[in-house]
Amino acid sequence: MVPRMSEKASVTHRGAILLGKNIACDAFDESKPLRVVTHAHADHMVGLRQSLKSCERTLMTKATKDMIDVMRSPLFLMGGMVETMDFGKTIQYGDESITFFRADHILGATQVLVEDAEAKRIVFTGDFRIENTPVLYSDVLVIEATYGHPTCRRSFGIDVKASLVNLVDKGLKTGTVYVFGYHGKLQEIMQILHKAKITVPFIAPERVFQVSKVCEKHGMNVGHLMLSTEREAKQLLETNSPCVAFYHMESQNKVGLDNFRICVSGWEFDSAIRRTGDKEYIVALSDHSDFNGLLEYVRRSKPELVITDNFRVSNGEPLAREIRKRFGISAVALPKK
Ligand SMILES: [Zn+2]
């Protein structure tokens, strides 16, 4: 039984999640006519240019398409046949059907369900947070394994969002607060602060600003956001006035060096907030499930076989081991390292 199931999905050495006969998710694979982009993070757009050129179709949500249009260029996706899919709507390809289901990760993120000719359900979770992601029943489950190591368990039960708001409030008393994070998460923070009635101006450089506008278009509320090159924004930053400046993580050593600084990272498991300098903090706001959350998905999905994604973060092995031990379900980490 298992060997046959194991032919229904795989993860290649180039990071492609292969589902059924026709689909490669999140990296290019020459053997599959359909490419899926589960969301707009760079490690899920591997070989996208090549997929656009060689695949029959590239599938993604409308929000993911809009994100890629601003992160690359509107011309980029015109290099191929892109089809946008709504959550819950099924398309047929040969004797397989494909359906997207929402994943709580960043705007536009999706899970992928393939139902094959034998009515087997092959699921790829993509990146997700267990709390607000619908768990899909599966026969074969491919699951992300970012925090697939037993040390990746968040032990703090307190509300990270509330702690973040308090910290920003405290920082604003000293002037400008710089927040560093990845695309998608920065916009989530804008929304959290806006909802918490932090009314100071928000400032962002070009790329972060454009991604935020896409999030706004798709229903998020990112507050009163200004472009960092605008005169008023420049003045606020130069005079260290109370405002929040949102920058991509890669700028963390370039801007706001003397200011109140907050880095947002999921790789924190002991406390919601950790002080790393005089006016510098790390806040543990994650857009991934921790170790327990990953196991919870497997338990509720009831698969016959689990494949853990061992390409993106090398935590596939310990997660597969725990799944075998705890649930007695066949589990393998792919690709083999
Ligand atoms: Zn991601």
Q: What is the Å distance from ligand 1's center to 105 Cα?
A: 7
Average pLDDT (130-148) is 97
Q: Helix 185-195 crosses helix 160-172 at what angle (to 10 degrees)?
A: 80
Report whether pLDDT(1) > 70: no
Q: What is the Å distance from ligand 1's center to 78 Cα?
A: 23
What does the pLDDT read at residue 157? 66
Nearest residue to 286 (alpha-carbon basis) of 202, 174, 161, 178 = 161
- For β-strands 140-143 and 82-84, DSSP reports them as unpaired
Q: What is the Å distance from ligand 1's center to 185 Cα?
A: 10
Query: At 5, is the pLDDT very low, low, confident or very high (cuts 50, 70, 90)?
Result: confident
Q: What angle do CA 284, 27, 210 make, to 5 degrees?
A: 55
Q: What is the Å distance from ligand 1's center to 117 Cα?
A: 30
Q: What is the Å distance from ligand 1's center to 3 Cα?
A: 30
Average pLDDT (8-25) is 98
What does the pLDDT read at residue 155? 81
pTM value is: 0.94
CA distance 266 to 253: 19
What does the pLDDT read at residue 2? 44
Q: Give per-residue pLDDT as tens, 259-279.
A: 999 999 988 888 999 999 999
Q: What is the Å distance from ligand 1's center to 303 Cα?
A: 23
Q: Give per-residue pLDDT as tens, 53-73.
A: 999 999 999 999 999 999 999
Q: What is the Å distance from ligand 1's center to 37 Cα?
A: 11
Q: What is the Å distance from ligand 1's center to 193 Cα?
A: 22
Query: At 285, is the pLDDT very low, low, confident or very high (cuts 50, 70, 90)?
Result: very high
Q: What is the Å distance from ligand 1's center to 106 Cα?
A: 7
Nearest residue to 56 (alpha-carbon basis) of 40, 80, 37, 76 = 80
Average pLDDT (65-89) is 96
Q: What is the Å distance from ligand 1's center to 232 Cα?
A: 33
Q: What is the Å distance from ligand 1's center to 309 Cα?
A: 13
| Of the listed ranges 157-166, 223-232, 272-281, the one predicted with least confidence | 157-166
Helix (H) or strand (E) holding 322: helix 316-327
Helix (H) or strand (E) holding 53: helix 48-54
Q: What is the Å distance from ligand 1's center to 39 Cα?
A: 7
CA distance 129 to 247: 23
